[in-house]
Structure 1
Amino acid sequence: MTTIGFDTEKYLKEQSAYILDRVDNSEKLYLEFGGKLIGDKHAKRVLPGFDEDAKMKLLATLKDKSEIIICVYAGDIERNKIRGDYGITYDHDVLRLIDEYRAYGIPVNSVLITRYQEQPNVNIFMSKLERSGVKVHTHRTIEGYPTNVEAIIGENGFAKNTYIETTKPLVVVTAPGAGSGKLATCLNQLYHEYARGNEASYAKFETFPVWNLPLKHPINIAYEAATVDLKDVNMLDNYHFEAYGEVAVNYNRDTEMFPVIKRIIEKISGKASVYQSPTDMGVNRIKSGITDDKAVVEASKQEIIRRSFSVENDYKKGTADEESMRHMQLMLEEMNLKKEDRKPVLIAREYAEKVQKKLDDSNLQAVMAIELPNGEVITGRTTSLMDASAAAIVNSLKSLAHISDQIDLLAPMILETIQNLKKDELQSKVATLSANELLIALAISAVTNPTASLAYQQIGKLKDAQAHSTVILNTENEQTIKMLGIDITNDPIYPTDNLYYN
């Protein structure tokens, strides 16, 4: 069982109070949200007990005062950048986010396309939004941003970019991911507010790194591991120490940018900034919610290991560089961690070797091991009937339902019919059942088969399980496993030489 180490309610109470204080002391507050506003799965993993939608629920309590601007970098749309935790492109994620925010009753003011350059795919996306009744704005690249303050404030800077009309005292600026231009959007809005004679201010809703935890605390190292592709590095906030004599942790981009941001805000407002450090700009009460540091430390170490697998896989797929690989390896060594410290890893690899020897086959055996929330580890391997993901899931459901391994949950005739459909009618070269297909077959069988029904009722118990595969999963299996709430890692090895199906 996972040990709870975080009190979401206590955290929300403190975080809300600090945000309200910022709102009450400003006619209009532009609040940049660092990290995911909704579905923050990283925070959930490193803070056992954290509600992944906590930030959204907090904002929902302020919905009468709030509206949202969603930023998305044009280049991310044009190159179809994928949001890893959901397996969808950034443009699709914007649509998902709009639906989510509306469901919470918080109005979406508009979508802002940043660093827009007339990209064809971006134009199509903009048309889709506009025809769906969503307001769309575009901002061009500002030459000299962010270091040339005079150019930024000049006529070819913020002045030439759109001012987004807002009506609420709290304007939340969020995005599908990092590098979307949230900060530039907030500063652009401040410029236009003051040009119109309006008072406005800026703050940042922070989650990680946690400023009042030690620099090398595993939770902060886990954040660095999560942003290794962005080259983020945690560091001490010297500005904060000089101003207050208090040690605070921040990261390189915010620390390096602070003098420039402070100067831009002062130039825009015509008065001294209230912020003496980058830490000052953030609202981060995460530490107040930690109830069991030991549990948080262990969870963070496991996240670092997970991220190391993720970077290796990205490198294999060509989306990560060697520098990220080296940085990740250094973090593992710094924390005295190895990949085998993740429980399912060694079990999956050992079982794969055992099967390989038994079959006297030189080919790599695809195996998945799932560590259930109760600590039991269940394995499954690819056969002619189903792939390793499907096998591990069905074996896990049997174990949870206390069903003998000798009992078939699904009639072989049903499985063969599905295989024939894939192979003969759908012309698929991969006839083995995937995890998704297995679950659909189980759901149908559960209607008439009491044993299948008993196994089907256990699906919810797979949530928060830990799994490892000895091969790279295809996109369909990976997303099915994630939707079940299982945290998955895999070795950076393709199961076959077939480039398309890999």
Structure 2
Amino acid sequence: MKIGFDNDKYLKMQSEHIHERIGKFGGKLYLEFGGKLFDDYHASRVLPGFEPDSKLRLLKELSDQAEIVFAISAKDIEKNKIRGDLGITYDSDVIRLIGTYREQGLFVGSVVITQFSGQESALLFKNRLENLGISVYIHYNIPGYPSNIPLIVSENGYGKNDYIETSHPLVIVTAPGPGSGKMAVCLSQLYQEHQRGIEAGYAKFETFPIWNLPLKHPVNLAYEAATADLNDVNMIDPYHLEAYGVTTVNYNRDVEIFPVLNTIFEKIYGSSPYKSPTDMGVNMAGNCICDDEACREASRQEIIRRYYAALNALLKGDASEKEAEKIELLMNMEGITVSDRKVAVKALERAQQTGGPAAALELEDGRIITGKTSNLLGASAALLVNVLKELAGIDHNVHIISPEAIEPIQKLKVDYLNSKNPRLHTDEILIALSASAAVNPIAELALSQLPKLKGCQAHTSVMLSSVDIKTFKKLGVQLTSEAVNERQILS
């Protein structure tokens, strides 16, 4: 993947601006972390060169001053919302991230369950966390939020929420995904701190949308595609334009909540330190793009990937038509179609030629390798074998795994594990290849090529099993699939 983003410059600039913002508030700062904190794969896809752990590296520099508070919506717990890039539920991800941050020497203070209205699943999650020794707080739905400011900034609004006990001057409020209520947690705490006579400030660590890129820049459109399920809309910040005469980009939820934030600040300080939603953000990402066209193309591909993901979710009943329709509108704005994804075109061509499921993967140098379904292998497994042969310079007629080695695995699946599908999945073919590598130097050579798949694009003509999807994710392959069930093709 062509590099379009200077990560070292970003770390330096972002760190400097965080320290600057902390200095503006003498007592305590609530810093809302937008996007993924530990593994921001969306940012790494649309800003090639951005490291997924960049925010974590910044936090470690502040570890002696900071504690982390996780926000998770009771609504997301109830509907088992999934992190698309990892394939795990938000509540499971919170537990995973708590362990990860603690391993990195960061202090996790507590978890707050937001938008609570009596969900039993949220209470069960609360008990689970408390049994692990984690402090849990509850924040409630507020009628008329965010427009009913008199109610919100009152004892029956933010005052009804649990007060989160914190012990560090810098409180990082983060979440497993968007829509978790991070900003509301910060604002509630500002109100509660004020009621206790404690001076506290607020700032927002955000990556998307990028305020100093054009409104319709593909990087910003890709953010809209990523949050299509939330119906987020990028927009010109009207407050910033009025205050400074400068056009900047923000998104609807920040713009809508700004009057509330202003009111809270006025109650605390007598006046607000911010004149616009853009003012309250700390976001240097736009200043660190070193190849604009590389980021534009990466973002176009991300929009198409999001479109395929929405179509897949629609077929499985996990999303509404509105999500796919919105992303299709974004594609029209940018003038792109699914035909602009080269691996999708090749996979469908191979499927048409063979009359069965097929897959394609684009290597770093632009070569596209395909694979088809056979009696022994599924299309994805065949693709991996063909790609590893190509990378290793092995003739495609050479067996790196003998059919005799595959057949016992098929027997195990069908006769002993009661599987109806005898074909090997991607994880099974990699295990077979690993076993062969112990005695076959050619298989060992093929296996050693796996790291080269990271960042490659792939497409399958049918929806894959969860096993195959997880294998591609572990390999770092950016995968899309047609919204077609395999049994429809093979029946």
In the alignment, is the contact (CA less than 8 A) between 1:187 and 1:265 conserved in 2? no
**Quick check: 124-133 or 291-300, which moved more?**
124-133
CA-CA distance at 1:144 after TM superposition: 3.0
CA-CA distance at 1:411 after TM superposition: 2.2
C-alpha separation between the residues in 1 aligned to 2:308 and 2:420? 28
Specify the SS of the correspondent of 1:250: strand
Aligned residue for 1:64? 64
Alignment coverage as a number of residue pairs: 490
Structure 2 unaligned runs (5+)? none
CA-CA distance at 1:492 after TM superposition: 0.9
C-alpha separation between the residues in 1 aligned to 2:381 and 2:99? 31
Amino acid at match of 2:425: S
Aligned residue for 2:377? 386
Map residues 139-178 of structure 1 onto 2, 5 A cutoff.
Answer: 139-178=139-178
Aligned residue for 2:279? 280
Task: Say whether 1:442 aligns with 2:433.
Answer: yes
C-alpha separation between the residues in 2 aligned to 1:34 and 1:173? 9
CA-CA distance at 1:270 after TM superposition: 4.8
Per-residue Cα deviation, 1:386-406 (whole angstroms, up to 9, x for no partner):
111111011101111111111
**Quick check: 212-221 or 121-130, which moved more?**
121-130
Specify the SS of the correspondent of 1:279: coil
CA-CA distance at 1:497 after TM superposition: 4.8
In the alignment, is the contact (CA less than 8 A) between 2:265 and 2:273 conserved in 1? no
Per-residue Cα deviation, 1:108-162 (whole angstroms, up to 9, x for no partner):
0011111234433323322222222211122222233222122122222222211
TM-score with structure 2 length normalisation? 0.97
C-alpha separation between the residues in 2 aligned to 1:169 and 1:260? 23
CA-CA distance at 1:327 after TM superposition: 2.1
Map residues 414-433 of structure 1 onto 2, 5 A cutoff.
Answer: 414-433=405-424
Aligned residue for 2:184? 184
Aligned residue for 1:360? none
C-alpha separation between the residues in 1 aligned to 2:83 and 2:303? 19
In the alignment, is the contact (CA less than 8 A) between 1:370 and 1:379 conserved in 2? yes
C-alpha separation between the residues in 1 aligned to 2:401 and 2:194? 67
Map residues 298-337 of structure 1 onto 2, 5 A cutoff.
Answer: 298-337=297-336
In the alignment, is the contact (CA less than 8 A) between 2:209 and 2:223 conserved in 1? yes
Structure 1 unaligned runs (5+)? 357-364
Please provide the CA RMSD for this pair.
Answer: 1.6
Per-residue Cα deviation, 1:178-214 (whole angstroms, up to 9, x for no partner):
1111111101111111111111011111101111111
Task: Say whether 1:222 aligns with 2:222.
Answer: yes
CA-CA distance at 1:235 after TM superposition: 1.1
Aligned residue for 2:359? 368
Amino acid at match of 1:487: Q
Amino acid at match of 2:78: E
Aligned residue for 2:247? 247
Task: Say whether 1:29 aligns with 2:32.
Answer: no
Task: Say whether 1:465 aligns with 2:464.
Answer: no
Aligned residue for 1:231? 231
Specify the SS of the correspondent of 1:76: helix
**Identity over the aligned pairs, expressed in percent?**
52
In the alignment, is the contact (CA less than 8 A) between 1:149 and 1:264 conserved in 2? no
In the alignment, is the contact (CA less than 8 A) between 1:23 and 1:169 conserved in 2? no
Specify the SS of the correspondent of 1:203: strand
**Quick check: 323-332 or 458-467, which moved more?**
323-332
C-alpha separation between the residues in 2 aligned to 1:301 and 1:153? 42
Aligned residue for 2:342? 343
Aligned residue for 1:108? 108
C-alpha separation between the residues in 2 aligned to 1:284 and 1:406? 52
CA-CA distance at 1:230 after TM superposition: 1.1
Specify the SS of the correspondent of 1:276: coil
Correspondent of 2:472 among 459, 464, 481: 481
Aligned residue for 1:202? 202
In the alignment, is the contact (CA less than 8 A) between 1:236 and 1:247 conserved in 2? yes
Amino acid at match of 2:262: K
